[in-house]
Structure 1
């Protein structure tokens, strides 16, 4: 598909791998089934990793392992079970993101692009999620824009991740515009998308906007859930609108939704 136009992605190509040797794992242990666990384990005890054939490489710490990975990735060496295909390298990117090291995840992305390995939607989605968690929304949207420009088939998960990131930094106006973008591209926002924005609007005291959105989702046939009602009821109570909160509570019970 050629190079992506996003300058943010292109910078990761130029800098790909340049930071890997500086990695120090200080995060808490992740799931035992993730590559993050294996990376983190390297910082705690020596470990031998099998390469091609019967060659074994011993690492005394995470720095040694990552320096090795940075040097040998272009020579088809497998490290920690990471082969030279997009799927395996995406697992490594996910591991770095789980450890909160999005910079190393981007370095691996840079390596992928240099080597001509085409990233998948999952690869980019993982990075977008990692960036949003760190409130780096501009960078996340830069990757999102690059994906749309190059014709990647996005899914609701990607859109909802961006929405969550925008709401995390309190940018409700842009979140609502992004919701309209979803609709314009043929994606019907689901209950997760609406709840994300409703929660943000209510926390900012924008109850009128929240109720308008609430009415919109019901007109579209999207059934409110316990999260929807909780957001609105808490928003009403915070503004001293107890009667409206009680009315909404009764509506929730009438819809066979039990209060939490």
Structure 2
């Protein structure tokens, strides 16, 4: 096509498929090659390329329709660069592109964030005297949405309609989904109404996109209304629709309604997936309703859905929040023996031990984590450092801090706030001031939290002049004191 350069993908000398045992000149071999190529059922991209390399040596060559089927199979494998390269080869063989092959090419450019090249293909379509179709326009709209050019996508959609082209349900769904993801839910709802007025019926994917956006905006009543409208139109909700509603209800603490929806799913012959169960279990655990979460986990196992690391971690976090550390430890041991414990799992239990004042067990678990070749992250270090300060072990806390720096884990503002707080609470005010000044000279500038911690420490130690000076420096740095800062002052 002369539009984009890609590494050569042809004539790879690969031919380990069953086709390699045949001579392409043999009539039986040719029939096999053509049949396999036309079916477009390939094991992988190498298998597909091997057949392509042989099929282009046969005469007569396959039609553009057959090549389109082949290119669509590669799109299904997400081999967008390969499709672009092979399209050029097909054209060089003297086979003229049609609207379908060019629409496939537009799709590939758009998937690769090259929407401008996609529009250049649209120009080529018009130059060839071909008629763009809904798929052509939908691919370009999708490309604009992928690049975050939502306003451009809406404008292009309107131009499409004004030009007499009828968008289909897929076109509407693409743009509605993009509008919802960028927070323009109201615009998406208006588009949904316009869609119905134009006689294009939304499908479950269209409705689910808006239901999800409404739930994320905490407009669950509106989401449930839309859910009812959807069912009144005999459009059956799927597991995604239900999962969005369950998440929305959980976010508002409406556990009973969320659990009722889970039961309704079973009644609708829809299988809840791991995401559905994990959302409910995680939210129940965060509210301390661990026994209810365990009940949901039993239902989950009964329905043949295997708990994963997220499920176990949520439950373990719930036990820690309820100070049931022995139960949390048993669950963690099970995760370790199953080989699914990760950094996140260790962080939960370390935090639980710190909150329960079992700092020795937290430190031991931290050491075990390193021995198991897991790399602690900033959350791990911050949690342990805070626990050690609260356990009045400043020396060890500072050792862990040094360990953090020496192992390439960059301290963040949270880390420094923890250390500042620890130093102030244990009377090391001069050391706290030194650290604070070092922060001011570094890229990690003190924020409102850091100022408030230090002001509070100075006030409690009777160093009111230092506190007052810090308070006014707060303004000089362009920071706005919060209610805690003023309360401290």
TM-score normalized with structure 2 length: 0.38
Q: Using CA pairs below 8 Å that are at least 6 residues apart, which structure has the higher relative contact order?
A: 1
1:180 Cα offset (Å): 0.5
Does the CA contact (< 8 Å) of 2:332 and 2:341 recur in 1?
no
Q: Which residue of 2 aligns with 1:77?
A: 162
Q: Which residue of 2 aligns with 1:241?
A: 324
CA distance in 2, matches of 1:173, 1:228: 20
1:222 Cα offset (Å): 2.0
Q: Which residue of 2 aligns with 1:202?
A: 285
Q: Which residue of 1 aligns with 2:149?
A: 38
CA displacement, residues 224-247 of structure 1 (integer Å, 9 cap, x when unaligned): 110011101111111111100011
Does the CA contact (< 8 Å) of 1:172 and 1:201 recur in 2?
yes
Aligned pairs for 1:94-113 within 5 A: 94-113=177-196
Matching of residue 186 in structure 1 with residue 297 in structure 2: no
CA distance in 1, matches of 2:286, 2:218: 18
Helix, strand or coil at the partner of 1:118: coil
4+ residue runs of structure 1 moved beyond 4 angstroms?
none
Q: Aligned residues, how many?
A: 202
1:78 Cα offset (Å): 5.1
Structure whose CA Rg is larger? 2
Aligned pairs for 1:100-139 within 5 A: 100-139=183-222
Q: Which residue of 1 aligns with 2:169?
A: 86
Does the CA contact (< 8 Å) of 1:34 and 1:95 recur in 2?
no
CA distance in 1, matches of 2:319, 2:234: 42
Does the CA contact (< 8 Å) of 1:229 and 1:252 recur in 2?
yes
CA distance in 2, matches of 1:178, 1:103: 26
CA distance in 2, matches of 1:100, 1:197: 24
Helix, strand or coil at the partner of 1:151: coil
Runs of at least 5 residues in structure 2 that lack an aligned partner in the other structure = 1-111, 114-142, 344-489
Does the CA contact (< 8 Å) of 2:185 and 2:213 recur in 1?
yes
TM-score normalized with structure 1 length: 0.70
1:221 Cα offset (Å): 2.9
Runs of at least 5 residues in structure 1 that lack an aligned partner in the other structure = 1-30, 43-48, 50-61
Worse-superposed segment, 82-91 or 183-192? 82-91
Q: Which residue of 1 aligns with 2:237?
A: 154
Q: Which residue of 2 aligns with 1:17?
A: none
Q: CA RMSD in A?
A: 2.6
Q: Which residue of 2 aligns with 1:21?
A: none
Does the CA contact (< 8 Å) of 1:97 and 1:126 recur in 2?
yes
1:34 Cα offset (Å): 4.5
- Decide whether aligned partners of structure 1 residues 249 and 151 sit closer, same or farther in structure 2, where only a CA change above 3 A counts: same
CA distance in 1, matches of 2:235, 2:215: 20
Does the CA contact (< 8 Å) of 1:90 and 1:123 recur in 2?
yes
Helix, strand or coil at the partner of 2:276: helix
Helix, strand or coil at the partner of 2:162: coil
